[in-house]
Chain A
Amino acid sequence: MVTVNLKINGKQYSEEAEPRLLLVHFIRDALKLKGTHIGCDTGHCGACTILWDGKPVKSCQILAVQAEGANIMTVEGLEPEDGKLSIEQESFRENFAQQCGYCTPGFLMMTRYLIRNNEEMTREEIREKLHGNYCMCTGYQQIVDAVQDAQRKYFATKK
């Protein structure tokens, strides 16, 4: 076993991990942060997307032991305070951008990254940048609506 020290959503964690344990299982099962989902386990679907030093990565494609010293944000870290929704969450809710909700944590993390690191995006650009996230129910229309809406809301806070 290897001890892994890392920061998630601003909080320091230290926990043992077997070398072959995936980061997504470490986050969910060792640290009990169940917001991050695991979908395909092959790096395609993006349900396990987290932010690592502010950039999205797929936590099923990384070993927990590789996250030593990492600074990570998961979907739990989006909420500005308990019971309050972030602009990404608010936009997904208002635009009905989810049905079963399984893929939503991954899409929310992508939204957090994309709206802050791009100029105003067209629908085509959003679709291109969300290529690594699958939703098997909504057909993406509302998800693209929600990302556009979230970006508008984010820009409004900057004015």
Chain B
Amino acid sequence: MYPKSFEYLRAKSVDQALQYLKDNEGSRVIAGGQSLLPMLKSRLYQPTVLVDINFIPELREVKLGSNGDLRIGAMVTHYDVIENSTIRENAPILSSTAENIADVQIRNRGTIGGSICEADPSADYLPTLMALDARVVLKTTDSSREMKVEDFIQGPFETLAEDGEMLVEVIVPPSKANYRVEKYARRKADFAIASVAAIVSLSKDGKVADARIATGAQQDKPHRLREIESALKGKASKSVNLEAIIGPATEELEPLDDLHGGPEYRKHVLRGMLSRMLGDLLSGKEA
């Protein structure tokens, strides 16, 4: 299978990449290519120009900002997200999430920036980044803006990135609270039928101090389950009746219907995962 012909431009710096994007209408960025190449082969996308950002070292950096936020370059691979000690220390849920992605080979090449920009409803990172309140940094030749991942993702394969704009960095507020992140798929490398990322911290007196829960593979984009979060916050963790919260809070969901699973099945799997994972977190069991 061959993609449609395109012109190839190899950027050596972020500025050069942004200039290429500005000068070429119909251009697209190629990061690790692990999602984009299948889409180019199937001709879902037919860019006239492909701007390669693989040769820009600064996009592969992981830094800790002065306020403690993690700053992860767009071209940091899933392998690096697993192995990097700064990420694992400050946002262990993100490293655990990367372990669930595809297979060894794909993880060596695929990147966090590319995965976010693909905006697949079943993407592994998105629920986790939403639970972490992570933000993306978008740049053009003469502007730079930040927005929450939750706002950036619009729908299946749709983001708020405008023409000439490129995701250069992901900002992750640190979170060392107890967490669970799981995906359910028939085979591990497959896209999820349901996925859940949950961060729950308990106060000393056993109350739920904070709860951030997001799900993917259910609707046209991953999203936070705020009804469950607010039902949990402030409650004594031992006295929560999870079933009474999860049932109604997921009632309105209208999950996707595709060859991997129908809506009822997806919802059933999701409820089971929430009940088990939140049950573990409320009882204070460490991951």
Q: Which residues on A are within 8 Å of B, measured CB to CB?
A: 2, 18-22, 41-44, 46, 49, 52, 55-58, 60-63, 65-66, 68, 110, 113, 128-129, 131-133
Contact with A along B53-75 (1 / 0, CB 8 A): 01100000000000000000000
- Please give me the 6 A-B residue pairs with the lowest Cβ-Cβ distance, nearest first: A132-B103, A19-B8, A131-B103, A55-B108, A20-B3, A58-B105
- Asked if A19 contacts B104 (CB within 8 A), the reply is no
- Asked if B41 contacts A57 (CB within 8 A), the reply is no
Contact partners of A132 in chain B: CB under 8 A? 102-106, 189
Pick 23 A–B contacts, CB within 8 A, sort by A. Answer: A2-B8, A19-B6, A20-B2, A20-B3, A20-B5, A22-B2, A22-B37, A42-B41, A43-B37, A43-B38, A44-B189, A57-B105, A57-B109, A58-B106, A62-B109, A66-B30, A66-B33, A66-B52, A68-B55, A113-B104, A131-B188, A132-B102, A132-B105
- Chain A min CB distance to B186 (Å): 12
Contact check: which of B38, B50, B108 meets A19 at CB < 8 Å?
B50
- Asked if B50 contacts A62 (CB within 8 A), the reply is no
Contact partners of B5 in chain A: CB under 8 A? 18-20
Q: How many A-B residue pairs have CB under 8 A?
A: 81
Q: Which residues on B are within 8 Å of A, measured CB to CB?
A: 1-8, 10, 30, 33-34, 37-38, 40-41, 50, 52, 54-55, 79, 102-106, 108-109, 187-189
- Asked if A110 contacts B52 (CB within 8 A), the reply is no
Contact partners of A128 in chain B: CB under 8 A? 188
Contact partners of A46 in chain B: CB under 8 A? 103, 105
- Asked if B3 contacts A57 (CB within 8 A), the reply is no
Contact partners of A129 in chain B: CB under 8 A? 104
- Chain A min CB distance to B242 (Å): 30
- Interface of chain A, main secondary structure: mixed
- Chain B min CB distance to A52 (Å): 8
Contact partners of B103 in chain A: CB under 8 A? 46, 131-133
Contact partners of B189 in chain A: CB under 8 A? 44, 131-132
Among residues of A, the one whose C-beta sits closest to the C-beta of B107 is A132
- Asked if B8 contacts A57 (CB within 8 A), the reply is no
Complex CA gap A65/B79 in Å reads 23
Residue of B10, B30, B33, B106 contacting most chain A CB atoms (<10 Å): B106
Complex CA gap A128/B109 in Å reads 18
- Asked if A62 contacts B104 (CB within 8 A), the reply is no
Among residues of B, the one whose C-beta sits closest to the C-beta of A131 is B103
Contact partners of B41 in chain A: CB under 8 A? 41-42
- Chain A min CB distance to B183 (Å): 14
Complex CA gap A56/B3 in Å reads 23
- Asked if A43 contacts B8 (CB within 8 A), the reply is no
- Chain B min CB distance to A44 (Å): 7
Complex CA gap A62/B109 in Å reads 9
- Asked if A56 contacts B105 (CB within 8 A), the reply is yes
Complex CA gap A22/B3 in Å reads 9
- Asked if A56 contacts B37 (CB within 8 A), the reply is no
- Asked if A131 contacts B104 (CB within 8 A), the reply is yes
Given known contacts A20-B3, A58-B109, A131-B104, is B10 in contact with A68 (CB within 8 Å)? yes
Among residues of A, the one whose C-beta sits closest to the C-beta of B190 is A44
- Asked if A57 contacts B188 (CB within 8 A), the reply is no
Given known contacts A42-B38, A63-B33, is B8 in contact with A110 (CB within 8 Å)? no
Contact partners of B55 in chain A: CB under 8 A? 68
Among residues of B, the one whose C-beta sits closest to the C-beta of A113 is B104
- Asked if A56 contacts B104 (CB within 8 A), the reply is yes
Complex CA gap A18/B109 in Å reads 21
Contact check: which of A2, A18, A66 meets B54 at CB < 8 Å?
A66
Contact partners of A131 in chain B: CB under 8 A? 103-104, 187-189
Among residues of B, the one whose C-beta sits closest to the C-beta of A61 is B37
Given known contacts A19-B7, A20-B6, A44-B189, is B104 in contact with A110 (CB within 8 Å)? yes
